[in-house]
Every structure is written in C-alpha cells, then in structure tokens.
Structure 1
Amino acid sequence: MNDYYTQDVHGPYETIDIGRLELEEGGVLEHCMLAVATHGTLNAARDNVILIPTWYSGTSKIMEQAYIGPGRALDPARYFIVVVNQIGSGLSISPSNAPAAIAGARFPKVRIGDDVRAQHRLLTEHFGIERLALVVGGSMGAQQTYEWAVRYPDMVERAAPIAGTACNTEHDFLFAETLSEAITTDPGFDDGGYTGPEAVAAGLKRHAKLWTVMGWSTEFFRAGRHRALGFEDMQAFVDQFMTGYFGPMDPNNLLCMAWKWQRGDVGRHTEGRLPEALGRITARTYVMPISHDMFFPPSDCLAEQQLIAGSEFRPLVSIDGHLALFGTDPNWMSDLDRNLKELLSLPA
C-alpha cells in the first residue's frame, strides 16, 4: 500500500461503491469505488449543489485548501459542494488500489466519459440529486465539466471549465505523451510491474521536471516567482517542490490519468463534430483559461467558447501559468472567485 494515498494526507473523504461500471473501452470495474469529499448541507429543494471533479494528480484536498471556504464563491454555508476524486487518482478506484486481477498495469483503460457517468450515478442514486447549480473544474476537471454539460445538459445549470478544453488538441496530446514517456522509459518501471514509486524515482523526477518547464511559464521564472514562493533557486524548486510533489505518487495512476487526459473529446458524442456537441450545452457557461497556460492556451479555449451559445470568455491573468491552479497567485484566485460569484448569481 502506498501511504501517500491515505486519509492522513488527503482526507477527510468517504469511499462510496457505486456498483458495476462498464467502461467505454470495453473493460469493467465490478465495484467502482469513488472517494468523495462533501462540504456544506444539501437544502430541502436539493438545488444548491456544486460539483467539483479533480484534475491530473490532484485530489479533493487541494480543492478544500485552495477553493472552498466562508465568503468564497464556493461557500459551504450556501452550497452543498461535492468533490469527486477521478478514477485513477489513487483515492477512487485506481491501479494502485484495485483488486489484484486489475491492479497495476492490468487496470483497464478509462475515459473522461466513464468518470462522468460514475459521478452521475453517485449524485442521482446515492445523494438523490437531479440538478447541479454549478459544475466547476480545472484542467482535467475542466474536461469533465465539458463532458457533464454536453452529456447531461438538462442537469447542469451552470458550467465553469477552467484551464482546459472540450477536445484535447494534438499539441497537448504530445505534451502529455512526453510526461508519460518520462515514467515508462525508466528501467525501474518494469512495464508497470515496479515494487513502488521509489523504484521509478528517476522517471518521476523527469516527469516533475517536464511539469516545471510546461506547468509554469517563462515569465514565472523571469520574475523570480519560484523565489517568492520560498525556494532559493530553480534547482531547489524542482527538487523540493515539484519532485517532492510527484515523487510519492504511483506511476500507473499517473499513466491512467494521462491516457484519459490525452483522449478527452466531447465530439465523440456527435461522431467527431465538435460544434454539434458543444451546441448541446444549455448551461450558463464561463470559459476561463489562464493567460500564460502552455497546456491549454487561451486561443484553444476561445475557439471552443465561440461554439457555445450564450457563453462568455473570461480569461484570467497569471504568469504562474497552468499551475496557478495550485492557488499560488492570490490575484488570480481573487479574479476566479469574482467570476464564479457572478456566474452563480445569474439565473439558470
């Protein structure tokens, strides 16, 4: 067992068995266990629900720490906030905690749509929820937000995809490919049969370095933001923060999520016709890219936003790039809160 994926590190959360989930790629999760953190109280009308899906490598804990709180847009005094850890996250069913028959490299391929169908079952059958005041998520959470808005338009009243796209680009596919290859080319990876993350330490460090290069921006380093965050120099930032973050994670979990990320595409609902798929969205939608994001640049997000009727393009400025999602830039966080409060104030 990997001690990183525990209640001590990422709790509190509840693990809920939603039953048998047949996957788009043909596999099956006989007992699809979802790790779920809730904040606030479901009102009598059951119409104060906000759903937050998680991003690559992230868990419900970062959402609690950076995005949820009194006076914030995501205020548990007003809303019932449900954070669902995606399949493969290490908390929900994943290569690292699955039954032996499907553990590790044997874990079946999972798509963004599988996550959303699992979340839909959780909300409707476990919680009795039929309407969502808001679905909001960053990066892979944005991919799931788009999937929700396209797949279940009658259920989603508002949508806020942050720093993510509805259809992953070929350029971003290659970005993610390099992240995966950093892990799989480590001899210690052993085709996914490693004994633990420590056996793949070199690959995980390369993975962390690539995230450092692409997750932040050139302006981030030019401005000395890594020093402002408390690190002596770039090498210390890589070794202590970035490698410290990715080093304890299970490589097969990261590969499971990366495979999903690469293939995120709501156009599969309409035989590849993205405009038709995005035309299904009826939610009040704010598309919110990050100005210096190299994974999901604003231009990619704008091209999709223009296909969503009644949506608004609300780019948020931060030289922290994609990883402003970590909550490192207070000004960015304030702008995000302001936009989310405005979106939540709009009539559904």
Structure 2
Amino acid sequence: MHDVFELPAFELDGGAVLDPARLAYKTYGELNGTRTNAVLFPTWFAGDHTSNEWLIGPGKALDPREHFVIVPNLFGNGVSSSPSNTPSPHDAADFPAITIRDNVRAQHRLVTEHFGIERLALVLGCSMGALQTYQWAVSHPGMVERALPFCGAPRTSPHNAVFIESLRATLTLDAAYEGGRYKAQPLAGIRAFARVYAGWGFSQAFYWEETYRQLGFDSLEEFLTGFWEANFIGQDANDLLAMLRTWQDADVSATPGLGGDIERALGSIRAEVLALPAEKDLYFPPEDEVRAARHIPHGRVRPIPGIWGHLTGGGGNPADAAFIGDAVRDLLATPSPAALEPARP
C-alpha cells in the first residue's frame, strides 16, 4: 500500500503540464513534534518504494522508531505518474520528458506542503536515487542537513549515457514496439534489454567467480532469465524509456542559476555529504564521486568494497547492506553544517 500526493497543473522543466502529476509515496515511522526526524529516500531505476525497504525497519539503519522515512516513487516507474498510467494527451509514447529536478520539485512540495517539514535530517538514495539526492542538496542547500548518495553521481557521465543509449536502442528496435503505441508489451525487446543490462549491473569479477550461485542460480543462463529477465519482464516499455531519459539528462549543474558550472553547483552544497560508490561499479565508478567530493565543502567518499558492481546498492548482498547501513548510522550521528547555519530564504 502507498499514498498519492496530487500536484494540479504541475509544469515540467520542458514546459509540458501534467494535470495532475501524481507522486506516489510511502512513509515509515512517525514525524516527531519538532519535525526534525524526517529522512527522504527516493527510489532508483525500475524500483518502487518496496525496493528500499531492506534498509528500513526496527533495528535497521533507518529505524521507524526513531526516524520518519519518506520514500517517494520516481516519475515514470509505473506507480507515480508514468506513460503506463497517465491519460491522454500524455499517455504512452506521448508522455513528456521529466527531469531529476522535476522529481525533486514535486518531492519538495510533498515534504513542505503536505508534511510541513522545513529540514531533512538525511536525504539518501541509490543510483537514480543518488542523482535525486545530489539534486536535493543543490536545489535546497539550507534544508538538507545530511546527504548519502550511494552507487551514483551528481550527473550522468558520457560513458554512462552510452550505456543508456544501448538500452534504448535494444528496446525500441523490437518491431512490436511500434513507436511506443504497442498493443502488447514488446517482450523480445524487454528480454534483450535485460540481457544488455546484465553485462553492466554486476562486475566482471562477479561473473568470473560465479557469484550468481549465491542467489540460487545453477548456471549463467538461469541467472540471465531468472534474475535479469524476471526483473524487467513485468515493466512497461514506455515506462522504462521514460526513466532512461530522466537518468540520461541528470546534471546538477543544469540547475537554474548555476550556468552549467558543475564546480559551482557542488560548491553550493551545505550538507554533510558521505558518498558511497561501489568499488567495481561499471557506470557510476568511484572516480566520479572522488572528483565531485573535491568541490563539496563537507564532502567525503567511502567506497564500498566488493565485486557486486552497481547492484552493491540493492541490498542483496549482506556484506554490502551492512556496510551501507553502518555508513547511514555514522552520518546520522554526525553534526550537520546545515543545521548550524541559518537557512537560505
């Protein structure tokens, strides 16, 4: 179960208007009387609020007995406004482009207008959730006390964009796709999409060591079908493409007023930032975070060791989950520079 926050006549960065935009979200725990225990945990590509629950619960890093955790669903994921659930004229292939900034603006309205929250103790997220985390820290520097992006970056690199292009081409070249006006899901394209993704989601060492056997698969082919194809086969093709576009265009330096200057954008962050890149992530490599942290006044980087690659951030490997959980606890225990300074108007 989840709730929906409706935003009437919500104007997107590209000029299109969703009337209404529907932001699906789920909360865990209770907001305290001073409204100071709120944590925002946006979702990642093709995930929903349940995808983040591995880090939420009694005794876990995000304990609902202490924190009020808000998990907003990414636009395009099939739960919030998406090609698959939006009526004409913005349905299917006519769904407008949505940016990371659009997601953050909608989330900001949820947090401030619906919940009356003025400060967020922590914003965190994996992959596209990390892109949103960085955007929150740039767009609302006086509101975000701490930020923990993991397996992500402040913008999508050219190499990452090439990966995204391969996914888009693989899916849309299925004849059944029919320009996005398909009568049935283009399943051959989606299966091919999943197999392209399989070569990037985990590291080379993960496959060398046949680590997929730890997940219950006896062969590589079983893993490709039972893990990767199964992960995407229930997704809507236009939803996948909408999220890809959001991902590909992500760049905090494109925030209005920053003139495309990435160093200026990162330098404007006032939060205590702890970035957790995965050691062997193939499309958000640690180097991206190390370069970014040099320009963040209170920025630190703590690489997650191991061979799970980008999927390090998915909570499926107990060692990685424990590493991330410990980092969340450490950061929440760290005094926040933003909390010690007056918020910007």
Q: Give the structure-2-normalised TM-score.
A: 0.95
State the alpha-carbon separation in 2 of the partners of residues 16 and 22 from structure 1.
Answer: 15
1:259 aligns with 2:245: yes
1:35 aligns with 2:24: yes
**Residue type at the aligned position of 2:251:** D
SS in 2 for 1:176: helix
Report deviation, 1:67: 1.3
SS in 1 for 2:41: strand
**Residue type at the aligned position of 2:111:** L
**Residue type at the aligned position of 1:70:** P
State the alpha-carbon separation in 2 of the partners of residues 153 and 241 from structure 1.
Answer: 39
Counterpart of 1:228 (choices 193, 214, 225) is 214
Counterpart of 2:45 (choices 28, 50, 56) is 56
Report deviation, 1:325: 2.2
State the alpha-carbon separation in 2 of the partners of residues 92 and 53 from structure 1.
Answer: 12
- The aligned residue for residue 254 of structure 2 is 268
State the alpha-carbon separation in 2 of the partners of residues 179 and 301 from structure 1.
Answer: 24
Counterpart of 1:209 (choices 184, 191, 195) is 195
**Residue type at the aligned position of 2:146:** R
What residue ranges of structure 1 are gaps of 5+ in the alignment? 1-11
Instruction: Within 5 Å, give how 1:84-95 maps onto structure 2.
Output: 84-95=72-83
State the alpha-carbon separation in 1 of the partners of residues 155 and 24 from structure 2.
Answer: 26
State the alpha-carbon separation in 2 of the partners of residues 230 and 262 from structure 1.
Answer: 33
Instruction: Within 5 Å, give how 1:238-317 maps onto structure 2.
Output: 238-269=224-255, 270-317=258-305
Instruction: Within 5 Å, give how 1:112-123 maps onto structure 2.
Output: 112-123=100-111
Per-residue CA deviation, residues 124-160 of structure 1 (Å, 9 max, x unaligned), is: 1111111100000000000000000000001100000
Counterpart of 2:151 (choices 160, 163, 167) is 163
SS in 1 for 2:147: strand
**Residue type at the aligned position of 2:280:** H
**Residue type at the aligned position of 1:233:** S
Report deviation, 1:26: 1.2
SS in 2 for 1:125: helix
State the alpha-carbon separation in 2 of the partners of residues 308 and 219 from structure 1.
Answer: 32
**Residue type at the aligned position of 1:142:** A
State the alpha-carbon separation in 1 of the partners of residues 155 and 3 from structure 2.
Answer: 31
Report deviation, 1:122: 0.8
- The aligned residue for residue 146 of structure 1 is 134
State the alpha-carbon separation in 1 of the partners of residues 42 and 114 from structure 2.
Answer: 17
Report deviation, 1:295: 1.1
- The aligned residue for residue 97 of structure 2 is 109
SS in 1 for 2:101: helix
**Residue type at the aligned position of 2:74:** Q
- The aligned residue for residue 176 of structure 1 is 164
**Residue type at the aligned position of 2:4:** T
Report deviation, 1:115: 0.3
State the alpha-carbon separation in 1 of the partners of residues 324 and 59 from structure 2.
Answer: 13
**Residue type at the aligned position of 2:17:** V
What residue ranges of structure 2 are gaps of 5+ in the alignment? 337-345
Per-residue CA deviation, residues 169-226 of structure 1 (Å, 9 max, x unaligned), is: 11101111111111111100000001232xx111101110011100011111111111
Instruction: Answer whether contact 2:194 2:228 (CA < 8 A) is retained.
Output: yes
Report deviation, 1:101: 1.4
**Residue type at the aligned position of 1:124:** T
Instruction: Answer whether contact 1:196 1:250 (CA < 8 A) is retained.
Output: no
Aligned length: 334
SS in 2 for 1:42: coil
**Residue type at the aligned position of 2:9:** R
Instruction: Answer whether contact 1:53 1:84 (CA < 8 A) is retained.
Output: yes
SS in 1 for 2:239: helix
Per-residue CA deviation, residues 39-76 of structure 1 (Å, 9 max, x unaligned), is: 00000000100001111101101111x11111111111
- The aligned residue for residue 98 of structure 1 is 86
SS in 1 for 2:149: strand
Deviates more, 1:18-27 or 1:293-302: 18-27
Per-residue CA deviation, residues 87-141 of structure 1 (Å, 9 max, x unaligned), is: 1010001000001211000001110000000000111111111110000000000
State the alpha-carbon separation in 2 of the partners of residues 228 and 144 from structure 1.
Answer: 31
What percentage of residue pairs aligned between the two structures are identical?
Answer: 40
State the alpha-carbon separation in 2 of the partners of residues 74 and 87 from structure 1.
Answer: 24
Counterpart of 1:192 (choices 172, 180, 191) is 180
Report deviation, 1:18: 2.4
Counterpart of 2:33 (choices 44, 57, 69) is 44
State the alpha-carbon separation in 2 of the partners of residues 330 and 139 from structure 1.
Answer: 19
List structure 1 segments (4+ residues) > 2 angstroms apart after TM superposition. Answer: none
**Residue type at the aligned position of 1:62:** S
- The aligned residue for residue 135 of structure 1 is 123
SS in 2 for 1:16: strand
